[in-house]
Amino acid sequence: MPNKIKTVRRPTSVVTGAAGFLGSHLTDLLLARGHRVIGIDNFITGSVDNIAHLAGNRNFKFIQQDVTEFLFLNEPVNYVWHFASPASPVDYLEFPIQTLKVGSLGTHKALGLAKEKGARFLIASTSEIYGDPLVHPQTEEYWGNVNTIGPRGCYDEAKRFAEAMTMAYHREHKVATRIVRIFNTYGPRMRLHDGRVVPAFISQALTNKPITVFGDGKQTRSFCYVSDLIEGIYRLMMSNYSLPVNIGNPVELTMVQFAEAIIKATKSRSKIMFKPLPQDDPKQRKPDITKARKLLKWEPKVKLADGLAKAINYFHGKV
């Protein structure tokens, strides 16, 4: 008798915030790895441009919806990736209530979907839950130093609540949950004027305008290229680890060093201009990625110069 061809059903992933910077890159990776993807976004900060290349892809389905409303899907779901949220200071200062709602009500609805479908769930948390850290570098065991009533509190507390809700569903309903704490990430599909340092510095450099550095420029950040980050997140979802894991690049730069790197990469005539430091702006931000290295066999591979070249090439057509 001839061997029967065994058909393997594609796993189905739901990605909230699928039209956003990270959500769209995650969607691409999932499709490349054989998933069927249902993307959900209300376009408050996402863009159709980020998913336009998926038009006609039979393994991608898009639903325009606010995830704080009930999520009804009449089909099996294997994975829920909750990435919906404004994620830059410009956005969450403009939409503070929506930011709080998507972190609380949106997380509740996404967890409810995972519970109903028996799906594995991952919440995209953030290094912002560490606030202006008193511990350096930041390990997952650090509880943070957050100003709950400051201008950044809407984002910080939304994500802290989302983590607490995720663990509650894990303990109470036995949902298989994963928590990724995302550190500064950059790459194509960032919005030019979203207020984050990479697009801000690159757009200023490409137009030879002064690069605005806040404070004395000695505050530090670490920058992870988007493909590295998404690979780490995928590995976390596929792991058996339910507590938070930092994913980011531990190579630390001052803001002045980063501005100088971008001036050099763009061959810009821009000069650095200093402005007052915003309230609650973290002085240091660097992930301890010991857990990611050990549990996920992950660490970033893309060098800053290579990642910046790709990001600059993308923004060339936008300024």
Query: Residues 74-120: pLDDT tens digits?
Result: 999 999 999 999 988 888 889 999 999 999 999 999 999 999 999 99
On whether residue 268 sits in a domain, the answer given is no
Residue 284 confidence (pLDDT) above 80: no
On whether residue 273 sits in a domain, the answer given is no
* Among 190, 202, 197, CA closest to 215: 197
Residue tagged 């839950």 (tokens): 129
On whether residue 2 sits in a domain, the answer given is no
Mean of pLDDT values over 218-237? 95
CA distance readout (Å), 55 to 18, 51, 52, 81, 286: 13, 7, 6, 21, 38
Cβ atoms 30, 13 nearer than 8 A: yes
Our answer to whether residue 234 is catalytic in this structure is no
Mean of pLDDT values over 277-294? 84
d(CA 31, CA 282): 36
Output the domain CATH number for residue 141. 3.40.50.720
Mean of pLDDT values over 138-149? 93
What one-character DSSP code corresponds to residue 5? P
Which of 5-9, 120-124, 189-193, 302-306 shows the lowest per-residue confidence on average (mean pLDDT)? 5-9
Element (H, E) at 229: helix 226-237
Mean of pLDDT values over 294-311? 96
On whether residue 111 sits in a domain, the answer given is yes
Mean pLDDT of the chain: 93
On whether residue 197 sits in a domain, the answer given is no
Mean of pLDDT values over 7-16? 88
Cβ atoms 11, 78 nearer than 8 A: yes
Residue 193 confidence (pLDDT) above 90: no
Structure token pair of residue 154: 């809407």
- Report the pLDDT value the prediction gives residue 216, as an integer from 0 to 100: 87
Following DSSP, what letter does each residue of 21-50 receive, concatenated? HHHHHHHHHHHHTT-EEEEEE--SS--GGG
* Among 154, 159, 77, 90, CA closest to 121: 77
On whether residue 231 sits in a domain, the answer given is yes
pTM of structure: 0.93
- Report the pLDDT value the prediction gives residue 318, as an integer from 0 to 100: 78
Residue 5 confidence (pLDDT) above 60: no
The upper half-sphere exposure of residue 60, i.e. CA atoms within 13 Å in the direction of its Cβ, equals 22
- Report the pLDDT value the prediction gives residue 280, as an integer from 0 to 100: 60
- Report the pLDDT value the prediction gives residue 1, as an integer from 0 to 100: 47
Residue 8 confidence (pLDDT) above 90: no
* Among 64, 71, 68, CA closest to 107: 68
- Give the strand pairing for 272-275 and 252-254: unpaired
Q: Which of 79, 92, 130, 155 is catalytic?
A: 155
d(CA 116, CA 136): 40
The domain total for the chain is 1
Residue 277 confidence (pLDDT) above 80: no
- Report the pLDDT value the prediction gives residue 52, as an integer from 0 to 100: 97
Which pLDDT tens digit goes with each residue over 30-69? 999 999 999 999 999 999 999 999 999 999 999 999 999 9
On whether residue 255 sits in a domain, the answer given is no
Structure token pair of residue 209: 């305008």
On whether residue 280 sits in a domain, the answer given is no
Mean of pLDDT values over 173-189? 97
Question: Is pLDDT larger for residue 285 or for residue 200?
Answer: 200
Domain housing 93: 12-186+225-249+286-301
